[in-house]
Amino acid sequence: MTAVRAAGYTSSLTRGSTFDPLGQSKGPAPPLEAKNEDTPEEKIKILEKKVNDLIEESCMAQSIGALQLALEKAKEAGRKERTLVRQREQSGNADHINLDLTYSVLLNLANQYANNEMYPEALNSYQVIVKNKMFSNAGRLKVNMANIYVKQKNYPKAIKFYRMALDQISNAHKEMRIKIMQNIGVVFVRMGQYSDAITSFEHIMSESPNIKTGFNLILCYYAIGDRERMKKAFQKLISVPLGIDDEDKYIPSNDDTTSNMVIEAIKNDKLHQMERDLKVLAEKYIMTAAKLIAPAIETSFATGFDWCVDMVKSSQYVELANDLEINKAITYLRQKDFNQAVETLKTFEKKDSRVKSAAATNLSFLYFLEKDFDQADRYADLAMNADRYNPAALINKGNTVFVKQEYEKAAEFYKEALRNDSSCTEALYNLGLTYKKLNRLEEALDCFLKLHAILRNSAQVMYQLADLYPTDQKCDISYVFVNVCRCFKLLYLSRCCREGLHTGIQTCIFVYSHVTICFPDSLASSMSFWKIHSRPSSG
């Protein structure tokens, strides 16, 4: 018998059907079945997550300086991890213990012990990791242990552990090996074993030279008094490649707009800042090394400086040669050879503006000290013309105006110096003195209070503060300053003695009697006490 309809076809199913490719007419999907958290596998996963969270919380606490909280979190992570191991063993999954998690817990705990200066506990935790053969590369942690021994000043043991770490690190990790050898050299320096330190530093300079190691090598040669090797080490120091781009790279071109936008974006980025910091550090080490060895490598410091200047001129740090010449002049000053200092500085009058400004600033100050105010004023103007934003030049100019009793003009120069360098304490102090001369005492007091916030232990600043308080408070304020700042007692004793004329002899005698009790060994207080008693009565 033949079928009336085609097999597998029903027209009624498609009659009236709507287009619904996403199946929205079927309604929402049924809810997922909740996981059963009572199973051993789920309990282990939850506990693993808690341990990881605790490690992360510990690290975050350390990053914000909450060291005690970081240690507590690390300890809690350790307890949870041990519970996790027991659960795996009970469920028969001991072979699936997460070694990476165990390593992370132990390492974090050791680090937090070290951060909290609990060194025995930190060493024990590191030892647990190092002795466990299942942890690969754990031998590197002997560097951490050596660092702790350095903090404990147990230098022989630190050397031992640094060398053990060095033996376990392959030559493929060259940078790490160099850093460990650098640490070994520094520890030898602390032990006074300069020959051993030199061996380490020389190896580094031959394999991977860097500025810090080159400087340390010069210090070691200086310590043993080896002139020739000092010279060679200085030449190596100034030839160390910094690996940074030329500053010309950051100068925008006139025609390429796209390139200019890129340069604008990168000229103050983190990488360029790092390059600038590295260059500043290198220049600092070179300047310090030159000032150190110049008197030692030749028969006179001037000849030594000249040799250093010649070497620097032929290196990548050619701009430092002028700074070295200025330091040579400053060294003459320290030796009280003013004529040679002046002659050296005068050679810079035809140099570029930055160097000319620095030299003229020093000359102005020298002439001011010699009370040749006309020459001081001339060189102050020269320094300002070369660099209008030089705060030291502005201060010198203000000083030359101050001695002419043109206090308003002097105040303007000091204020301009502060606008160019808000941290210039000399300008702020001189401005305070100028306001005192102008009898603008509130403004003077404001200057010295700002200075006191910066220079907490400055005797001169506290003296000015005591001097600026109202007359009827001077003795009491001076007495407070004497008690708070005992190391500056002589200034305030003399101040208190003078103010006895205005506040009454009996008040001053009372203050001095207390000061004498505080400072029984002070001859000045005893003499001042005697002077007040021997002064004729005003009545």
Q: What is the CATH number of the domain that holds 356?
A: 1.25.40.10
Residue 14 lies in a domain: no
Q: Which residue has the higher pLDDT, 316 or 477?
A: 316
Q: Encode 130-161: b = buried (16+ Cβ within 10 Å), e = exposed.
A: beeeebeebbebbbbbbbbbbeeeebeebbeb
- Whether residues 343 and 358 fall in one domain: no
Residue 315 lies in a domain: yes
Query: Residue range 347-362: average pLDDT?
Result: 76
Q: Which stretch, 18-22, 192-196, 264-268, has highest mean pLDDT?
A: 192-196
- Whether residues 317 and 362 fall in one domain: no
SS (H, E, C) 36-71: CCCCHHHHHHHHHHHHHHHHHHHHHHHHCCCHHHHH
pLDDT band of residue 495 (cuts 50, 70, 90) is low
- Whether residues 277 and 372 fall in one domain: no
CA distance 414 to 363: 19
pLDDT band of residue 12 (cuts 50, 70, 90) is low
Structural domain range at position 447: 351-455
CA distances from 483 to 242, 456, 480, 486, 493 (A): 52, 14, 5, 6, 11
Domain limit, last residue, from 294, 315, 347: 347
Question: What are the tens digits of pLDDT across the range 74-84?
Answer: 999 999 988 88
- Whether residues 335 and 366 fall in one domain: no
- Whether residues 237 and 307 fall in one domain: yes
- Whether residues 440 and 388 fall in one domain: yes
- Whether residues 300 and 383 fall in one domain: no
- Whether residues 274 and 321 fall in one domain: yes
SS (H, E, C) 390-431: CHHHHHHHHHHHHCCCCHHHHHHHHHHHHHHCCCCHHHHHHH
Q: Are 261 and 255 in contact (CB under 8 A)?
A: no
- Model pLDDT, residue 469: 67
Domain limit, last residue, from 347, 365, 380: 347
258-267, 278-287, 377-386, 518-527, range with the lowest pLDDT = 518-527
- Whether residues 251 and 367 fall in one domain: no
The two tokens of residue 68 are 């005690």
Query: Residue range 25-52: average pLDDT?
Result: 72
Residue 441 lies in a domain: yes
Share of the chain above pLDDT 70, in %: 76
| Terminal alpha carbon distance of the chain | 151
Residue 527 lies in a domain: no
- Whether residues 343 and 376 fall in one domain: no
Residue 415 lies in a domain: yes
CB under 8 Å to 178, separation ≥6 — which residues? Answer: 204, 207, 208
Query: Residue range 220-237: average pLDDT?
Result: 94
Query: Residue range 89-98: average pLDDT?
Result: 71
Q: Which residue has the higher pLDDT, 137 or 69?
A: 69
Helices assigned H by DSSP within 91-193: 99-115, 119-131, 142-151, 155-167, 174-191
387-401, 445-459, 519-533, range with the lowest pLDDT = 519-533
Residue 10 lies in a domain: no
Q: Does residue 295 sit in helix, strand or coil?
A: helix
- Model pLDDT, residue 70: 94
Query: Residue range 129-155: average pLDDT?
Result: 90
- Whether residues 232 and 325 fall in one domain: yes
Domain limit, last residue, from 329, 347, 365: 347
Q: Are 515 and 525 in contact (CB under 8 A)?
A: yes
Q: Tokens 């003795």 map to which residue?
A: 475
CA distance 14 to 269: 66
Exposure of 428 in the CB half-sphere (CA atoms within 13 A):
22
- Model pLDDT, residue 482: 47
The CB density around residue 511, as the number of other CB atoms within 10 Å, is 26
Residue 68 lies in a domain: no
Q: What is the DSSP string of 206-229?
A: HHS--HHHHHHHHHHHHHHT-HHH
Residue 250 lies in a domain: yes
Number of domain units in the chain: 2
- Whether residues 244 and 263 fall in one domain: yes
Query: Residue range 109-116: average pLDDT?
Result: 94
pLDDT at 513 over 70: no
Q: Which residue has the higher pLDDT, 350 or 185?
A: 185
Query: Residue range 339-347: average pLDDT?
Result: 80
